[in-house]
Structure 1
């Protein structure tokens, strides 16, 4: 006779003790155990317990599309502190998530530890080792000589990282944090608690999180869509074995990802025709994405992030070059077509989906060929900020895997607009500024160092910055303009619009005019220098 592990969400919430350290598996709405998080908030409102929880989120739980995630428990008294790789974000016009209000008001201490390092910390806690020694995060906001991952004044007095000397080299040390409760999500649980993920868009890190809790005597709660009879799941389909799972919460209506109840191509059950993917309209953002695509080389494995660069896979589809590079994203998809907007973090038609912790090992070690990322600010040293703007904190999501990805990437292409708020038109193969942006993005010193230009130069990383006006590269002497787009004046539109002096290459080139017409550009993917 198998004792049932199935309990209600409210019963699961009531099992969480006061002062617990709770780790949650999620990536926005992807894999978010939202029903269980909602129950914790509900039970707290009714009973005053559990209280003073420390929450660990390797990737954000919840989003601005209707999956509240962490906002269910962003209540004074319930939430004591939070450590996350990323946080829910949204447009500046939207009401800030409750978690951002608590952070901004210093109601709780909050930290932003890079996502890959957070998974590493779970693995170290599971093996009862002291913590993570890494060079990932040196000279970024994670470095204690800058912010030490602290997101507000309430966190500044509680260090979560230190600089150490190990065999004559400088490293960062993140002490392991031992979780006492894990809340994870899957598609199916059998009666023994074995978990399969057949309708999920990624595995994320539930195995690592469950191991950290189980090995330290805690409680593992799994939220699933459905229950099946013991022995009916194929062993290779089980990604979290039942010996690690204490309780099961059934939530039949859990969404696959943001604004997506269920799409089988995301979970690899079918393959979408390429002509079903929307191609970006011809505008300045598409021009930037086209220019980024010119830097790619057939056969590369290319990481991709949020922003303009997320459109580059659609450029390859438009140019009949899909499959010439393999896209790899931090949530775990390898190959296929990375999705956009609220589905970002998932891919359709993926060749493989690996657990996020292993994907981050791949990134941290620099095993891939190139990364395409965005920027909020660039400074005189070539450093980039994507993780925090004090004027609009809830618009950013924290760093996520950005720091892990950029730490040793061989090549990085950052893309975005030179100034924020500028308006453009494209006429006769040239760009015209209709309205200049009011906020400069090339600043003397970035507010938050998400990527260190100094370390990039020291490590010999190849760094490009692609904007609508010009292409720049990072050199030992600083940021240098190497290419100008047709229609722009070098002095008026570029040099005067930067808060720091830009170098100008002696052989300054002009961006190929074919990018500025609606017709296809004849993309070759030879990775050659273009001008």
Structure 2
């Protein structure tokens, strides 16, 4: 077998004019900095290669000069196709100035497309991007007038609309790992993420292209554990050993064992978030966190939700994820974004997006820059500033519940919070709630039609998406609706007796959120709606681990329903409900007893398919119909339809 270890100069010398070069990396994680720098140096010194096409998913760059920013040289790049652009501003500047053809496609779709290219397929079908700027009925992801090639097509399959993302053959792939042997086998034991290294390598090889890998060290022949090899040498053409300065774990961190799972990091000593408008917003968003649910927090302001959850001691009841492939642990911010301390697992990026796109997220919390009356959100394009969508479209379109967070106005906003109220001492000069967003990164009308639950949380109010548009749902104490809200919006939202936001949000002390989300008394989990004769039972995140737990549940339920004095409909939330196996039979007997004695119609819901199956079997065994649904909307629709029948 051929020794594949070569110099940087020899590696980049194989790239030809017009090649399509795919570059791995998520911010600075997995970014082959030495290879990119070597390509930039070759062009500067030799004026070749020219007219390259770049393909990347997650903005390999630091927001300044590193990563793909090095390739922002006239003549070197002719076209760029990327998912996230904000950290490659020099390249983005060339795009908005019409100096290169450029496209912005959803990060997750590019990540998944690598697999389709590897499989020799013509492209990929997805609903992600429908009715956004990626949809060809809008601009098809094109950034400027030079971008005339159709990379995305609208297709009809059995009466349903789909987007078809065309495959893009790869001539050269730049990937990165930790260790290589002379045959090109690559491991990633010191990398914070595995990303899409294998898919990219296979896509390039099966396109007839070349794979160049950057590593930090070499191993002796035959010494590598085959189970740790992420990219086999069959897929690698040459290996470059980088200087440590060009192989940092992230752009901010030389190396952290906790990012790799080699040790557990300390997270309970993290300092609390300073009290500010940002913390108020993060607190209100944290009130929506699903106990025992799976959550994605976007970069920027949404990161504060994780900090609040940690401060309020509920973080251990939430599974946080990042689109880069991390599930569990504490996701990091800034130039460490994508990494996590104490993750439960680290998977490939395309696999994480499979999970997201299939509806695996219970909640997503994302930022918002512009919002209009239809609930459309723009985070991707602002005149001459181009950020790109990143994973925003995949996440926002597919999360079961979606929260957008941001200050109500921007640039100069100042607030004070005396005695649990809010006062605007200086209003921001830039409105965020405008007549029409510049670019539709999230389509409000489409989300409402799909029945998605969406909130827009600011420091002074909360708005809710409805099929008729945005509704003002909550207002901070001390805020005047006309003066402080409507006067700074370009449209009038629906107003139907909005609630007052919890005063605890506006005090500079812990909210004791654990008490309201986890340590809730059973009697406080039951709510009766007289207009529909329905009792809502919130059992989310609760457990029956002992006979004493079951006895308490029994006593509270009998007292509550007995006091009502009539039979009622019930809708029960079983999300995150845990019942000890040894008590399942007794609990099912109790459910049957309640249903026979007190219920007219019963509907239960949980996202857990296992719990739906088990509970359904237990109820059937007791000759009860198991009306158990996946969502609250389905459960409520069943009760409503039965009442109307």
Q: TM-score range by the shorter chain?
A: over 0.9
**Counterpart contact for 2:290–2:363, Cα < 8 Å:** no
Over the aligned positions, Cα root-mean-square deviation in angstroms equals 1.7
Partner of 2:109: 117
Say whether 1:382 aligns with 2:382: no
Equivalent residue in structure 2 for 1:243, among 225, 234, 248: 234
* CA distance in 2 between partners of 1:362 and 1:440 (Å): 35
**Counterpart contact for 1:65–1:259, Cα < 8 Å:** no
Q: What SS does the corresponding residue of 2:315 show, helix, strand or coil?
A: coil
Partner of 2:538: none
* CA distance in 2 between partners of 1:46 and 1:171 (Å): 46
* CA distance in 1 between partners of 2:327 and 2:169 (Å): 31
Partner of 1:107: 99
**Counterpart contact for 2:128–2:397, Cα < 8 Å:** yes
Partner of 1:269: 262
Say whether 1:419 aligns with 2:409: yes
Equivalent residue in structure 1 for 2:178, among 167, 175, 187: 187
**Counterpart contact for 1:313–1:322, Cα < 8 Å:** yes
Matching of residues 478-517 of structure 1 within 5 Å: 478-506=469-497, 508-517=498-507
Partner of 1:199: 190
Give a deviation string over 1:374-419, Cα, whole Å, max 9, x none. Answer: 10011111111111111533xxx31111111122211001100111
**Unpaired stretches in structure 1, ≥5 consecutive residues:** 91-96
Matching of residues 104-503 of structure 1 within 5 Å: 104-155=96-147, 157-253=148-244, 254-393=247-386, 397-421=387-411, 422-503=413-494
Give a deviation string over 1:319-378, Cα, whole Å, max 9, x none. Answer: 122210100110111110111222222111111111101001111111121101110011
Q: What SS does the corresponding residue of 1:288 show, helix, strand or coil?
A: helix
**Counterpart contact for 1:283–1:426, Cα < 8 Å:** no
* CA distance in 2 between partners of 1:305 and 1:180 (Å): 33
How far is the alpha carbon of 1:306 from its aligned partner? Answer: 1.1
* CA distance in 1 between partners of 2:249 and 2:379 (Å): 27
Give a deviation string over 1:225-259, Cα, whole Å, max 9, x none. Answer: 11111322222211111111111111131111122
* CA distance in 2 between partners of 1:257 and 1:356 (Å): 17
* CA distance in 2 between partners of 1:219 and 1:41 (Å): 18
Q: Which one is further off, 219-228 or 256-265?
A: 256-265
* CA distance in 2 between partners of 1:278 and 1:195 (Å): 38
* CA distance in 2 between partners of 1:510 and 1:307 (Å): 27
The structure with higher relative contact order (CA 8 Å, sep 6+) is 1
* CA distance in 2 between partners of 1:488 and 1:41 (Å): 54
* CA distance in 1 between partners of 2:171 and 2:235 (Å): 13
How far is the alpha carbon of 1:65 from its aligned partner? Answer: 5.7
How far is the alpha carbon of 1:516 from its aligned partner? Answer: 1.4
Equivalent residue in structure 2 for 1:85, among 83, 86, 105: 83
Q: What SS does the corresponding residue of 2:54 show, helix, strand or coil?
A: strand
Partner of 1:94: none
How far is the alpha carbon of 1:98 from its aligned partner? Answer: 2.2
**Counterpart contact for 1:114–1:402, Cα < 8 Å:** yes
* CA distance in 2 between partners of 1:105 and 1:447 (Å): 17
* CA distance in 1 between partners of 2:82 and 2:209 (Å): 20
Q: Which one is further off, 158-167 or 107-116?
A: 158-167
How far is the alpha carbon of 1:12 from its aligned partner? Answer: 1.0
Task: Report the structure number with the largest CA radius of gyration.
Answer: 2
* CA distance in 1 between partners of 2:261 and 2:271 (Å): 19
Q: Which one is further off, 274-283 or 17-26?
A: 274-283
Q: What SS does the corresponding residue of 2:190 show, helix, strand or coil?
A: coil
Runs of 4+ in 1 over 6 A off after TM superposition: none
* CA distance in 2 between partners of 1:270 and 1:427 (Å): 44
* CA distance in 2 between partners of 1:329 and 1:110 (Å): 26
Q: What SS does the corresponding residue of 1:7 show, helix, strand or coil?
A: coil
* CA distance in 1 between partners of 2:311 and 2:106 (Å): 34
Give a deviation string over 1:487-527, Cα, whole Å, max 9, x none. Answer: 21111111221111111133x21111112112211113359
Structure 1 length-normalised TM: 0.94
Give a deviation string over 1:305-329, Cα, whole Å, max 9, x none. Answer: 0122111111121112221010011
Q: What SS does the corresponding residue of 1:85 show, helix, strand or coil?
A: strand
**Counterpart contact for 1:28–1:88, Cα < 8 Å:** no
How far is the alpha carbon of 1:217 from its aligned partner? Answer: 1.7
* CA distance in 1 between partners of 2:463 and 2:371 (Å): 11
**Counterpart contact for 2:416–2:424, Cα < 8 Å:** yes
* CA distance in 2 between partners of 1:486 and 1:445 (Å): 29
* CA distance in 2 between partners of 1:231 and 1:311 (Å): 46
* CA distance in 2 between partners of 1:429 and 1:440 (Å): 25
Q: What SS does the corresponding residue of 1:323 show, helix, strand or coil?
A: helix
Bigger fraction of residues in helix: 2
* CA distance in 2 between partners of 1:410 and 1:354 (Å): 22
